[in-house]
Amino acid sequence: MNELHELDATAQSAALRSGEVTSVELVRHHLDRIEAHGATLGAFVTVTAEQALERAAAADQRIASGDAPPFAGVPTAFKDLTFTRGVPTSMGSAGMRDFVPDLNAYVVDLVEAAGFISLGKTNTPEFGLSSYTDNDVIGPARTPWDPTRNAGGSSGGAAAAVSAGLVPVAQGSDGGGSIRIPASACGIFGFKPSRGRVSAGPAGSDWSGLAGDGPLTRTVRDAAALLDAMAHPEPGDVRPLPEPAVPYAEWARRAPRRMRIARWSQTHLDGVSPGPDAVEAWESASRLLESLGHEVVDVDNPFPRELEPQFNVIWSSGIASAAIPEEVEPLLRANTRYWRDRGRASTAIELTRALQFLELTTRQVVTNLQAYDAFLTPTLALPPQPVGWFNESSDPIEDHRRELLFTPYTALYNMSGQPAASLPLHWTAEGLPVGVMLAALPGQDGPLFSLCAQVEQAAPWHDRRPPGFD
């Protein structure tokens, strides 16, 4: 058998059931890897080793009794934005490092009900605001492909952990690209589901329609299985989608029908263009899709540039309305204060107009795209960037400008509510991962999984691992 951390979660589950390994052994193996590599990568804020080993022992008993959920005993981790009962949840903020929720996010309950065992909380920027991961709690998360470079954000710790084999799968959240950005920077697969696919309950809110939880994995089948665990609406959800009639794991095993795929590489932002590595990755993916029998059609970027300022009104209003304790305010990073100040300057009328503009505009975009089954763009405009590149100026305005240079594509699908995935199909001459993004029409998560699985089969990436972490 391969090294335990070389197995994806589906294979680890099979090994547990066949008796090749126990959950205690599997959890200890991954805890040892976290101890060896976690600090180097800035992957984990909190490690819950004792709790994980206790749960692993209980999982072994359930497996032996024949009464175990499908992923009983398999390690995972939750993002440090996600409420976990009795476990510190800093939200990437030094002022919140002692905050311990007294309840779980619903997604935590669902993932644990599938049998997964959390090894701790993964690194995130303060309140998940940035497309890179850095904070005053433990510092930056780094991509295992070059630890001098940032892992991306805001699920950067989760992506680094999966990429380096510290856990086989991890939960992330995505309000502007926060699953797909670090997936690209860390050379793994990341899937943002359709709006309403995963509940924000019981304490979270989907008031803006931008954010949702999803999987970060090394294989498409693991992402499908983890989303199967997550995709159950909670009573009272504002915009719930029904549970899928066909499990996503089944979609990942199905060959897709021939698809008509629209592609574009130009951005909707003035003065922002993809770099040569992003274009090369996108062109290569286009040829691969054509070789698989799909029709790939060039179109202009259908999203208008006017979306960006309206998105910023909503984004800044969200962090401005966050109930941050008064004593924490002086400890906030400059970037967080910048966005809170922007949000406080917006009126209720401006926020309402921004929400309506996004809804009406993206509805028309989706209407205009009905002739296509899928959409191909770069995930990011640039490869992973040096750790200090985004905030080296200490100017939040320049920080934001550089974030737009880095990630001009991902937030559009948060605005439209479409499912989108980053696939690790390309590496630069220097060995840095560069993802490409495939998206589908709203609600078409299943067919998108089929397409991604077909691409993975044609151009496998699972065995490509960052040097020094094998």
Question: Any idea which residues carry the catalytic annotation?
Answer: 79, 154, 178
Q: Which residues pair with 470 in a beta bridge?
A: none
Dig out the tokens for 192 from the structure: 């943002």
CB 243 within 8 A of CB 233: yes
d(CA 15, CA 350): 55
